[in-house]
């Protein structure tokens, strides 16, 4: 059983490249880092130098780039669609948690900076 329609791989990779541009001109390295995939693995996947299509790599890319699932409909085999959607949602949750953690850290830093500025003594001229 194949999870993906290999005849539509080129179309999928075109969609990935489109969303790499739409989401801020991401490089392969940027996408690899954001999706927690090795840079060489990402490069091999995007240049079609892998024998198999790994569903987890595809799902991570779709989640990170926030590719609408309707753009994937022809690429994902019908009997794998439900499982793939769950996989993408799982990775989207992981990406959102990391973003939320980063946001919370920045918020705490800003609050600490504000508190420090408010309690610092004012120098006399």
Tell me the CATH number at 71.
1.10.260.40
Any domain includes 125: no
Q: How many domains does the chain have?
A: 1
Any domain includes 121: no
In sequence order, the 6+-apart residues with CB closer than 8 A to the CB of 38 are 32
- Mean pLDDT for each 10-residue chunk of the chain (125 residues)? 85 95 92 94 92 91 93 90 92 65 51 52 56
Strand partners, 76: 4
Any domain includes 118: no
Pair 77, 23: CB distance under 8 Å = no
* pLDDT score at 76: 93
Predicted structure pTM score: 0.71
Any domain includes 45: yes
Residue-number span of the structural domain to which 31 is assigned: 6-113
Any domain includes 13: yes
Phi, psi of 73 (to 5 degrees): -55, -40
Any domain includes 95: yes
């Amino acid at each position: 059983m194949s999870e993906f329609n290999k005849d539509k791989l080129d179309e999928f990779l075109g969609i990935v490249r489109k969303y790499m541009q739409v989401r801020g001109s991401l490089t392969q390295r940027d996408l690899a880092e954001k999706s927690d995939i090795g840079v060489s693995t990402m490069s091999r996947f995007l240049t079609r130098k892998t024998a198999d299509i790994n569903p987890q790599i595809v799902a991570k890319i779709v989640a990170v780039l926030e590719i609408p699932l309707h753009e994937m409909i022809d690429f994902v085999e019908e009997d794998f669609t439900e499982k793939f959607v769950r996989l993408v949602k799982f990775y989207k949750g992981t990406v959102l948690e990391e973003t939320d953690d980063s946001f919370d850290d920045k918020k705490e830093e800003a609050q600490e900076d504000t508190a420090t500025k408010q309690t610092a003594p004012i120098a006399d001229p």
